[in-house]
A and B are shown apart, each in its own frame.
Chain A
Amino acid sequence: MRSAFAGNPIGFHHRQKGCPREQGFILPMAIGSALLLLLGSLSVQTVALQGRLGQASREGRGRQEDALAAAAQQLVGVMNLRHPCLLVLPLTRWSQEGRPCASAPEQAALLRGEGGGSRWHLLDWRSSAAGAEALIELDSAASGAPPRRAAFAVALLAEPLRAQPPRLLGLRGVAP
């Protein structure tokens, strides 16, 4: 079976036996150029996607920061209102020395809370003469995201004993 182009009636060049380099150089060049174009555009797309991912992460961090700040406000508010004696006690001593001002169920209620669509729990409450520090973690079982926690500094006032609003010290990762 003869090829349709065997006779090459409208070919640009006649095939030249002595010049093999000129044979078929356009197709490889076009393939190379196409690959380069596609690779270049894929690189740009990758950069754009990385930017989008970074921004989504920043948005998520902002939402978590808001939820944690609301949790800290809620916790300190309840402690100021109902259990001010716990302000000066570290969490490890609540169960013993904190009983006079907060029963076991009340202490358990202080350790967990919900607000703004997020559930949180108090990981630690450290207290010293200079003030207190709360470590709060958002529950992430529903979202599947890694748990996010934040530390808050709480300055204390005497006469009567009460706490100033919590100040965010920073978000922290999954593990301390």
Chain B
Amino acid sequence: MTLLEVLLSGVLFLGASAASLAVWSGAVASMDADARRMEALEGLEAELQATEIRLLDPGLLASPAVACGVVVERLAMALDQEPPVAGVVRQIQWPNADEPLRLRLVAGDQRRERAYSPAAFGGCSPGPPSAGESAAPPAVDLPTGGPSAAAVLPGTEGHGAI
């Protein structure tokens, strides 16, 4: 065994150790970020499932006699009825009565977007609600303490508690 052999072995081993450490460190950081993203995705998925369940409410079903503006307001109220899952920010937006209502859920750098057409909920008549129509459907029992209409104003973004 010569000094050259020992030096060469040491350099080789140290180099390999440093490279290995760097790769391990990068992999662990990547897995950590993936775990956070996965958690965000699961939160979004849970919130979407809860949303879909809320939209199954038969009280949301309209008919061609109801103005689309009324239906879209009912949908917005139903979507914003409960606070979102922890870590998820909910944004509800609709440009006008005949446009689909857009639901955007954001968690970290992940997001999901759904569009709900008011006419898909049993049909409606195009246009905003007339003076006599109310957004609150008679068959739906909205809980007290729910979001105020101001939280989901048309053309703006409202969100529930983070």
Contacts and interface: CB of A to CB of B under 8 A. Distances in A.
Instruction: Please say whether chains A and B are actual partners in one complex.
Output: yes
Interface of A: 5, 8, 10-13, 22-27, 29-31, 33-35, 37-38, 40-42, 44-45, 47-49, 51-52, 55, 58-59, 62-63, 66, 69-70, 72-74, 76-78, 80-81, 84, 115-116, 157, 160, 162-167
Given A34-B12, A41-B24, 4 more contacts: A66-B112, A66-B113, A69-B114, A70-B100
7 nearest A-B residue pairs (beta carbon)? A34-B16, A77-B117, A30-B9, A77-B119, A41-B23, A80-B123, A70-B115
B110 A44 contact: no
B15 interface: yes
Contact of A162 (B52, B55, B64): B64
Contacts of B148: none
Contacts of B96: none
Interface in B8-22: 8-10, 12-13, 15-17, 19-21
Most B-side CB within 10 Å, residue of A12, A69, A162: A162
Interface stretch (B30-38, B81-89, B132-140): B30-38
B76 interface: no
Given A5-B3, A48-B27, A59-B110, A73 B16 contact: no
Contacts of A10: 3
Contact of A52 (B8, B17, B34, B41): B34
A164 B1 contact: no
A157 B122 contact: yes
B43 to A, nearest CB: 12
A84 B123 contact: yes
Interface in B97-120: 100, 110, 112-120
Interface of B: 1-6, 8-10, 12-13, 15-17, 19-21, 23-24, 26-28, 30-31, 34, 37-38, 41, 44-45, 52, 55, 61, 63-64, 100, 110, 112-124, 126
30 contacts: A5-B3, A11-B1, A30-B12, A34-B15, A34-B16, A34-B17, A44-B23, A45-B23, A47-B27, A47-B31, A52-B34, A59-B110, A62-B45, A62-B112, A70-B100, A70-B115, A74-B100, A74-B115, A74-B117, A77-B119, A77-B120, A78-B117, A80-B119, A81-B123, A115-B115, A157-B61, A162-B123, A164-B61, A165-B116, A165-B120
B130 to A, nearest CB: 18
Main secondary structure of the interface of B (DSSP, over half): helix
Given A31-B12, A44-B24, A37 B120 contact: no
Given A34-B15, A160-B63, A13 B34 contact: no
Contacts, number: 156
Contacts of B17: 34, 37
A157 B113 CA distance: 28
B12 A48 contact: no
